[in-house]
Structure 1
Amino acid sequence: MESKKIFVAGHKGMVGSAILRDLKKRGYKNILTADRQDLNLLDQRAVQKFFNDHQIDMVYLAAAKVGGIHANTIYPAEFIHENLLIQSNLIHAAHVSDIDRLLFLGSSCIYPKLAQQPMREDALLTGLLEPTNEPYAIAKIAGIKMCESYNRQYGRRYRSVMPTNLYGPNDNFHLENAHVLPALMRRLHEAKVNDVPSVTVWGTGRAMREFLHVDDMARASVFVMELDDETYAANTRPDLSHINVGTGKDCTIRELAESLVNVIGYEGRLEFDATKPDGTPRKLMDVSRISGMGWQPEIELEVGLRQTYRWFLENYTGLRGS
């Protein structure tokens, strides 16, 4: 397996870079990556030429346009357009190039806004999506269904994993466009440095979220990719092939903010702006499938927050989203 040529699409993003680290740690040496200036994933011809030029055996599709509530609200057209193009170009190019193994990374936002908690894989397409990120969610659902369709029609072994909210090294720390955890970490840090007396958090603070360290997500991605066909088939269905990845534990946004205050050492006040949207009331993943196959997360939230804050401080001048 270590001799296979593996293409990690999106290797400079948070998830892609973590997968790259994990693969190298496991002894994989024949790993292919491409910067944006070398390969435009929005260009179908360029993507197909790239696949034609390289003898690729496996693909980790971690490339995506991502962001928090604010970014999804302001740029819905870009979120659906770019993600649909990236997925379609890469999945189809993999098929045309006779690549049998591909892992697609989705998102927990694929599930209905009011899905029963914790959210099981079979909740997909059973209700209305959260409006604030519906375009992104629809793109991700299309990616899952593309993988299932190529599997059904052509016998491919394309698999999909649905991560819960991720955090960790190489996250986007933009103050407006990032997800809640990295954006809040940066705001609290800068408030501490500048002696700002209070920090306002969007929403009531009552919304509940589950957070998974990206290094755990990388381990889960490689775990699912390397599962033997018998084990994978026994835990999925042809029309329900995606697998949830998370911790199975959640907390309120207020609790997250208070944990970050402790980790960062901010001494000011937290204020919550209830005029801003909370988003989905709760997003907790049912992870019984992947747990039953033998995978468990290793990094507790408090430990992960401290590790991430150390990385944040060490890389502050070159942060994504600066």
Structure 2
Amino acid sequence: MFNAQYFRTFITLVETGSFTRTARRLEMTQPGVSQHVRKLEQYLGRSLLERQGRRFALTEAGRRAYDYALKLFAEHEQFRHSLDDESLDSGECRLASPGSVGLMLYPFILGQQQMHTGLTVSYSFAFNHEIVSDVLTGRHDLGIVTEAVRHPEVDCEVWHQEPLCLVVPADFAGTGLADLMGIGFISYSDGVNHADVLLRRNFPDEFRSMSHFPRQGFTNEVSMVLDAVARGLGFTVVSRLVLETSPWQRQVKELSLPQPVHETLHLVTRRGSRMPRRYTRLLDAFRDHRRHERYGHGEPSMEVGAREGGGEAD
């Protein structure tokens, strides 16, 4: 029969190198330690030690059993901490977001994990509909999506907003809508919707529809769309998160527009579930970090007030 205490005794024996010291540390008798090892060997059907008088060496099976035991108890501790919803610094975080968010959020969370070693992170990059589906099936505890979700089994709330940026090649000299039509549009999954709301807000007398713009290409990976722009193939509209994390940000530029428009990010959880405090801490820390980065450089403060829709104007 499996007995975790046998594995615990075996770990201690390997670490101390002595039956006597093991018995002392575990407050057992030396015969008791020997009995645990024998029981473990019987359970596994393998000799774990090569005894050499009062000394011993691990067999190959013993080395593998020791490695397994370490992993077993590490996972046990991780699981035990994950049950503590009130813990800020430990437990597993299972979440997903589109690439436009995860490009900056995932590295930020990894930094938090480095500071709080009790945290573990399972992060998935996915499209909105995939995120909602995975939250419903329990694969993720939390999803971040760029559109409001209406579903009877889902709770959806506004979390954060990021500016949308009109991005053109670095040598682009135009300023108006006609100039943008001249180079064409590079699209991605949310590209058309983002471009529509931003251009409609800033060129109300001229803009009619994104269908009037020549399509110069499409990619389903938002992190790659600025590569096409950097090569002079067209313009696009992306979240500030994408622009700031792009390796091509020096080969493109953002056109300044008079009317700011923001992408609204929403948190999605299973209805009635209680989000552990470690998630709240991570999300609040990231949002505070973004506000400091943006407003610390003179950008006017903006409060989230809308509960629905992506790409909302303020």
The two structures share one fold, judged by TM-score above 0.5: no
| TM-score normalised by structure 1 residue count | 0.28
The structure with the larger Rg is 2
| TM-score normalised by structure 2 residue count | 0.28
- Normalized per residue, the structure richer in strand is 2
